[in-house]
Structure 1
Amino acid sequence: MTLPSLGTLVSLPATAHPGLLAPPVVAALAAWPHADRVAVTEIDPDLADTAALTEAFDLPLTASANCVLVSGRRGGEEKVAACVVRADTRADVNNRVKRLLDVRKASFLPMDRAVEESGMEHGGITPVGLPDGWRLLVDARVADVDVAVIGSGVRRSKLLLPGRLVAELPGAELVEDLAG
């Protein structure tokens, strides 16, 4: 099977390079039947942010998908979700996400908490290997991307996979207009 590639990124089989992945990502890929279609590419950690990455590796902004963590409460119960949206859009946290979570107010999860509870590094958080109990909301536009570039759980690499496979991650919910 041919690994996905994009721009000038060098694609390696993700499952064969666990040192380039956060531990929860390694575990998730080991249990996922589509893992053989996921590539990892090593990058300079200073290029982990989308704007720097797209410029350095000649990538279209529409290929990068960002994963943001959001939480809210209703009736004393906290609900957490990962929202995956294309980098040329923003998650509609105040309206669409809030309604999907059925909470009064949705806010971004504080960085320290996001890092601690996900087991991933800031700037590398990915929808692959999220904690049980967190919802995974994927904007439908991500599924339309031929090759999506997402986090690997660490800042020193990225994952590449067909966009439609992001929508097939365990627990993923494909959502129209998750982003504005």
Structure 2
Amino acid sequence: MAVASLCLSTSAVADDVSPKPSVHVKCCGRIRHGLMAIGGETTGTKIRFERISWELKLNDAAHRAFAEKHNKEQVVVTGSLRKVKGIEVKDRWIVDVKTIAVCDPTKDREETLLAIHGTLRSKAAGVAAGMTIEAGGQSWPVDFATDLRLQPVAESLLNQHVSLVGQLKQFPEEESREPVLQVKTLKLPTDDCRE
């Protein structure tokens, strides 16, 4: 029952999951628009939440006008996330924006939800506790502490294609490390949420 409710609460992100490796996001944070960078290595727009900052690729005039009007305000963005190698900035994270709106303070918090469709891997041979999911050339560390019932299911699905939905967390003591995906749901591409 609890897992079914988690599936429903994360369906806005999970519905975007495609059968190929992909990373879809829904994040709420402060937008900055009109930015410039040396060598032009920027989309000109960023969103910052929980000590994480990503660039936004605004795909139409309406999105750009919205970003300009709401510069330095809290917004909610959905889209697909990709990593681009840069010259001045080693790794640039870019969200190809699908939707953008003002945050609703009654229901939106500064956070991000990710729906990742990829291959579940063990960090070391024979060690299931330290797992990652690989998608789009990126390996994401995963944590099942939010729902410990998912850990044994994940262990049985190592090296298989799965869909994980969860919250991306950057812990203050680990700012030099990659953020961790705190998993809320685990699905096979054709299955309902796993317990």
> Greater Rg, structure 1 or structure 2?
2
TM-score (norm 1): 0.22
Higher helix share: 1
Higher RCO structure (Cα 8 Å, ≥6 apart): 1
TM-score (norm 2): 0.21
Higher strand share: 2
